[in-house]
A and B are shown apart, each in its own frame.
Chain A
Amino acid sequence: MKWIPASALVMLPVAALVAPALAHARINVGVEEAQQRLFPGQKLTQAPVLLTDAQRDRMRAASSVREPFKGERIWRTAQGEWFIVDEVIGKHEMVKYALAIGADGAIKGIEIMEYVESYGYEVGEAAWRQQFVGKTAEAPLKLNQDIKNISGATLSCKHLTDGVKRVMVMHELALKSQK
């Protein structure tokens, strides 16, 4: 092992000069892999949903997400749990993620599926994503309220949080009644 320490560690901020190791990373996880991570060993069947204009209006009002929601990317387990793929804008690029919702209407987990921005990968950290687990459509799901921000990744945090809120409202309006 050879370690050459920087002489004046704290005096030398480099965020602007050198991209961190993560800067060139690119997350790309397929639907099946995300399903296995959120529902290990379970069989999921696709369960697309058609949303009415009124439902879409309520989803937009509750979340301020404007991108169209694609109702065909929904799957369910035999136990009435849901796996939903959605996309929101990160800072410049789209972030694709998957949300798992239990039969009780509470979030079971969230996985980032596609992330191509240069910064803001911290939204993939388990500790940040863990904040969503257990929340229902009744939770505020608002950044800096019940979801903690990560400095340096604010836009990705904000848009993902809004996206999750929208999916939860959609679940409440269109999926929860399907038993």
Chain B
Amino acid sequence: MRSSRPLLGTYVTVSVSHPDAALCEQAIAAAYAAIGRVEALMSAFRPDSDLDRINRLAHREPVAVDSWTLEVIRAAQELHAASGGLFDPGVAPALARWAMLPASDLDYEQSSIANLRLDGDRVHALVPTRIDLGGIAKGYAVDRAADALLDAGVEAGLVNAGGDLRVVGAAQEPIFVRDPGDSGQLHFAGLLEQGAFATSATYYSRRQHEGREVSAIVDPLSAQPLLTRRSYSVIAPLCLHADALTKVLALAGHPDLPCFSRYDAQPLIVPSP
């Protein structure tokens, strides 16, 4: 059974297999509910989401957030440290300057995920910090949806959020990647079982802004946009890690990074023709 819905700024497809159709329907509904919850907590476009309150208030007072938000921030901080700073959701101010995120009147000069301190369920920022979890929360949402499928008892399942996907249960899924030179063209990448696959590239987000080219992938060290024409995929057990590590791979530009083995991840770079 397969179903598709617009969520997370893309289309999410959930497919499950089990002889019991009612179980399949319940599993799919639970998966969408999990994704909806992640979106409500961590979307950059929802006023008063956990993310929005952290960005507006956490430098003034500790902000209480949901346990799921805490989990993503903790993972993001760990990835930030493991990647030597290449993964940093604190690049949101650059995205806002390029009109990819809503503008803000706060001044975020030293924005970095490393500024956040966690205390119980509360988040405090040492200096004004604007984070965008777009580079990790989609993967996390896929993981929570995949967990929901397993909890519901499906035999096999797939959650695919615009190319960030996870395969659970007894299925072996053929995985395709878009040709970075022609995103309508697909290439067979391999077969995946009980794991996640995520891709980052700039083919959809590249655009002109005030006379220069920008993209949604930002180098946190230079605050400059990534403009290569290649695409960067990562295979890992969890989609949260796969999603975040695609940015690390893209910014490093080569696959020899110690943090990949730490997350049991495999990089895949597709060159443009």
Q: Contact residues of A with B, CB < 8 Å?
A: 1-6, 9-10, 12-15, 18, 20-22, 24-27, 29, 37, 40, 111-112, 119, 121-122, 124-128, 130-131, 134, 148, 150-153
Give the chain B neighbours of A25 by CB distance below 8 A. 2, 4, 11, 13
Check: B194 CB closer than 8 A to any chain A CB: yes
Give the chain B neighbours of A4 by CB distance below 8 A. 190-192
Contact A148 B195 (CB under 8 A): no
A-B contact pairs, 16 of them (CB 8 A): A1-B194, A1-B236, A3-B191, A5-B266, A9-B187, A10-B270, A14-B187, A14-B188, A18-B174, A18-B186, A24-B2, A29-B6, A122-B183, A126-B9, A127-B9, A152-B185
Number of A-B contacts (CB under 8 A): 121
Contact B183 A124 (CB under 8 A): no
A150 CA / B117 CA spacing, docked (Å):
41
Residue tally, chain B, CB below 8 Å to A: 48
Contact B190 A150 (CB under 8 A): no
Give the chain A neighbours of B266 by CB distance below 8 A. 3, 5
Contact B162 A13 (CB under 8 A): no
Give the chain A neighbours of B174 by CB distance below 8 A. 18
Chain B residues 92-116 with CB under 8 Å of chain A are 99-100
Check: B200 CB closer than 8 A to any chain A CB: no
Give the chain B neighbours of A151 by CB distance below 8 A. 182-184
Check: B245 CB closer than 8 A to any chain A CB: no
Which of B182, B187, B193 contacts A152 (CB under 8 A)? B182
Closest 7 A-B residue pairs measured CB to CB?
A152-B184, A126-B9, A25-B4, A1-B195, A2-B193, A5-B190, A127-B204
Check: B132 CB closer than 8 A to any chain A CB: no
Contact B46 A40 (CB under 8 A): yes
Question: Smallest Cβ distance from B151 to chain A, in angstroms?
Answer: 19
Contact B158 A21 (CB under 8 A): yes
Q: A1-B196, A122-B204 are in contact. List 13 more A-B contacts (CB 8 A).
A: A1-B237, A3-B266, A5-B190, A9-B189, A10-B271, A13-B186, A14-B188, A20-B186, A26-B4, A29-B6, A122-B183, A127-B216, A150-B183
